Chain A
Amino acid sequence: MHNHTLAELVNGLRNKTFTSVELTTHFLTRIEQLNPNYNAVITVTRDQALDAASKADQRIAAGDSPALCGVPILHKDIFCTHGVRTSCGSKMLDNFVPPYNATVVENFHRDGAVMLGKTNMDEFAMGSSNETSFYGPVNNPWALDSVPGGSSGGSAAAVAARLAPAATATDTGGSIRQPAALCGISGLKPTYGRVSRWGMIAFASSLDQAGPMARTAEDCAILLNSMASFDDKDSTSVDSVVPDYCASLNNPLKGKKIGIPREYFSEGLHAGTERAVQKALAEFEAQGAKLVEISLPSSALSVPAYYVIAPAEASANLSRFDGVKYGYRCDNPKDLQDMYCRTRSEGFGEEVQRRIMIGTYCLSAGYYDAYYGKAQQVRQLIQQDFVEAFKSVDLIMGPTCPSPAFKFGSKGDDPVAMYLEDIYTIATNLAGLPGMSIPCGMVDSKPVGLQIIGNYFDESLVLNAAHQFQQITDWHTQAPEGIE
């Protein structure tokens, strides 16, 4: 049952091939038996899931079933879930139980999906390896000694290990696409503003965007139909019509122009990864798409700009975790200053503290113009590169990340090496564009991801291209060893 795609499960439920309770029980059992190998799921909501599943079955029986009725999914632990602990991977929120749902969670609830639990993640979504989680690292199902990527490593590993057919995730600098690539699944970061950020714990507000993770592009389309909405509770949510992302999946790609940025195939790219990506591009060419070499000249500046803007926003976003209102508070503070200092020193992990300090420094009097101001100018240039490029191409493709999954601890001492993991993904966040990663090959028995970048609000074409690729390749159907 767990090898079915989400699309197949939707049909199976509707045709009453199986019930939601059977399906939900199946995945809960898998989580129980297999999750200890991966540590992908950190909260299991068994009773609520079974209750929701049984209600879904009643609705299906009554012929009143919304799009995802009875389909079990996992939520990244960054999305607030009413009555269910939402930790954001941090000791700071280990005891935090929100009295409200994130809009994303609410949308899935509206469409009948069943929440199985919450997935592990880098603390406050800061990390590319899932090693910064308070709840311990997540193991990559393809190689247990390697990282699953981050920050949505728990969601990616859970989908790869078939602990759930799909999971929600968020992407601030690559946190959907990089773990999707490293775990051999499909993951989409929509256009900034397409999916509401209400109830999604903020890392860097101008970059954060939620998106789906599943095994196929078609499943991502189904999930995005549910996730995407205008939300008057999020001022940056965009009030434009949400198309049916499934409607255009089967459009032919003949005549589409695909831009290949030369900057994405430079020094630092693993040779095996490059071969797999080139081979994938040839498949698109074979389907009648035209490959065009393009240049995104400001690409090299995206990592430094990002590591100013994201920490700057984070430094303010994380100020609310002060021990006063909710979350962790240090024991026996001797005064206010002591409470602030110890609460934040004890409650936040090292990487989070590093980024708060970087951000605080970048915004400080005398440094603002040189760092934050300059980074914003660079951001404009990066955005301009893409606007120019999309005047002549329909999509942009390249590798999702420089190399396949690396071993635990191999980049732990060098934050900059870790930050370079996101060298190909960060620019789309800075520009606000949609980007997707789909599996396109294997290197040393580890998956390789192809990144597909679309124009603003052109998720349909991104999903269309990914789906067409998956019609003629089978990388997305491959399972890690031991997952049958």
Chain B
Amino acid sequence: MNWETVIGLEVHVQLATKSKIFSGASTAFGAEPNSQACAIDLAMPGTLPVVNKQAIEYAILFGLAIDADICQESVFERKNYFYPDLPKGYQTTQLEKPIVGPGQVVIQADNGEEKIIQIHHAHLEEDAGKSLHEGDLPAGTSGVDLNRAGTPLIEIVSEPDMSNAAEAVAFAKKLHSIVTSIGICDGEMSQGSMRFDVNVSVKPAGSTELGTRTETKNLNSFKFMEDAIELEVERQIDLLEDGGTVTQETRLYNGDTKVAKAMRSKEEANDYRYFPCPDLLPVIVTDDTIDRLKKTMPELPDERVKRFISEYQLSDYDANILSADSAMAKFFEQVVEQSNNAKVSANWVMGDVSAALNNVGLSFNKSPVTASQLAGLVVRIDDNSISGKMAKQVFEAMWQGEGSADEVIQSRGLKQVSDSGALEKMVAEVLDANPAMVQDYLSSEEGKRKKKLGGFMGQIMKASKGQANPQQVTQILVSKLEELL
């Protein structure tokens, strides 16, 4: 039987506010456990929440970016359950009246065509803390770190509009691009700034009835999400084809072991007893606020693609890749601004820099080679000071912290020799020293001569310690050999 997959996503995005959603404590990542948790975050008796206006504005900005309705009056509710990393015994979130109503996000589907993914809504909520089961703890005990408790999140809930893992990833990447472009999230996936819950079901091809879905929670990379979806689709199809049924359940996927397991079934699910939080007033959003925020709206990824094509004469493909990650786009523009060569800059940003960053799991924000360093390198490529091969060496050295491109070229003596007088002398010497090779060349058929050039090139580059401009050397070499014919 042929099966169709139906996928919906719930995406948690940590908002890049300085302080928490209901307290003044810092949201900075990586501090000592519980050093960024104030009395409110610890749910001390008598403490009260006051909502962070910046978090509200960030949520509105997201709504505007996906062309959604902004609710004039949204309401915070309490979602009740006990867990040690949930200090109040309830999470303050939104349910009946979320701040962002239905909207849409456009992705490029597999076939290259545009596909619209509908957003059901997006709501504001607070993050929980973390339970610690390892590290410096007395035997048999667990710890709780409440630094993350109260970090503002928007949860973006999509309609089940995706039909394979690739579309889900494209959608997730597009959201990443939007939230980083409008500056409401730092996009640091490794620090949990974006986390995905995927709802997956399968149904016989053509059927209008949805199958039973499972939810795989808390995936924190595009790769894990893709793997988890593929694994789950396969599991469900196998199950159904063997005559079994899919149980509605929550699942956890371990990206390291690539194994998923059921966490709890629907029957075991909590009754969260939501009700409006009496400590907080409804959030009222006026038209003035919306108008003001519209005016401050930064460039969105789709607009950026168009601009890159027209402003830098990039191909659709390059413009799309460079725009998708806003940190990458920003980096690219900084490089172009100083190098004045968009094509070479684009190739380096998408190629070597991107690959090097991926290798060590860093984003463009944290690149060891800065945009202006890379621009310095592009300038030297552009003016033929160095060859492509040398450029890779220079980049490597800059990555290791050896300074600017010019400093590396200088200190390593990598400057390309483009002085034609010097090159002609070098070519002549090599030809003189290798009469047999010259004879071999001259006696070869015309069609095969080109292949013989490699031997001379090797000798010449060796003689020049790799600094000879290869294009120029080829020209000189060919013309000198032609003269001997």
Contact = CB atoms under 8 A, between A and B. Distances in A.
A235 to B, nearest CB: 5
A324 B42 CA distance: 10
A99 B44 CA distance: 9
Nearest to A90: B45
16 contacts: A88-B45, A202-B45, A202-B46, A233-B50, A234-B50, A235-B279, A235-B281, A316-B273, A318-B89, A319-B80, A319-B82, A321-B45, A322-B82, A324-B84, A364-B273, A368-B273
Nearest to B50: A235
A235 B275 contact: no
Interface residues of B, number: 28
Contacts of A102: 46
Interface string B197-215: 0000000000000000000
Given A99-B39, A319-B88, A201 B279 contact: no
A80 B46 contact: yes
A88 B278 CA distance: 20
Interface in A187-210: 197-202, 204-206
Nearest to B271: A365
Interface string A223-267: 000000000111110000000000000000000000000000000
Contact of B44 (A200, A232, A326, A336): A326
- Counting from the closest, the 3 A-B pairs by CB-CB distance are A319-B89, A363-B273, A206-B278
Nearest to A327: B45
A314 to B, nearest CB: 11
What range describes how many residues of A lie at the interface? 35 or more
A391 interface: no
Nearest to B90: A316
A197 B50 CA distance: 12
B270 to A, nearest CB: 10
Interface of B: 39, 42-51, 78, 80, 82, 84, 87-90, 144, 271, 273-275, 278-281
Contacts of B278: 204-206, 236, 313
A365 B47 CA distance: 28
Nearest to A80: B46
A199 B84 contact: no
A202 B51 CA distance: 18
Interface in A81-122: 86, 88, 93, 96, 98-100, 102
A208 to B, nearest CB: 9
Interface of A: 79-80, 86, 88, 93, 96, 98-100, 102, 197-202, 204-206, 232-236, 312-313, 315-316, 318-322, 324-326, 336, 340, 360, 363-365, 368, 372
Contacts of A319: 80, 82, 88-90
Nearest to A361: B273
Contacts of B44: 80, 98-100, 325-326
B41 to A, nearest CB: 10
A320 B45 contact: yes
B275 A201 contact: no
A406 B84 CA distance: 43
Contact of B45 (A86, A234, A372): A86
Given A86-B45, A235-B48, A235-B280, A372 B275 contact: yes
A172 B84 CA distance: 29
B78 A316 contact: yes
A202 B48 CA distance: 9
Given A313-B278, A372-B275, A325 B45 contact: no
B290 to A, nearest CB: 22
A319 B78 CA distance: 11
A316 B46 contact: no
Contacts of A206: 278
Nearest to A197: B48
B48 A320 contact: no
B89 A320 contact: yes
Given A316-B88, A325-B43, 4 more contacts: A198-B47, A204-B278, A235-B50, A235-B281
B35 to A, nearest CB: 15
Most B CB within 10 A of own CB, among A236, A319, A365: A319
Contacts of B46: 79-80, 86, 98, 102, 197-202
B87 A100 contact: no
Contacts of B271: 364-365
B45 A316 contact: no
A236 B82 contact: no
Contacts of A365: 271, 273
Q: Which of B45, B48, B144, B271 has the most CB of A within 10 A?
A: B45
A216 B280 CA distance: 35
A235 B51 contact: yes
Contacts of A324: 84, 87, 144
Given A80-B46, A360-B273, A316 B82 contact: no
Contacts of A80: 44-46
A127 to B, nearest CB: 18
B359 to A, nearest CB: 41
B335 to A, nearest CB: 46
A234 B40 CA distance: 12
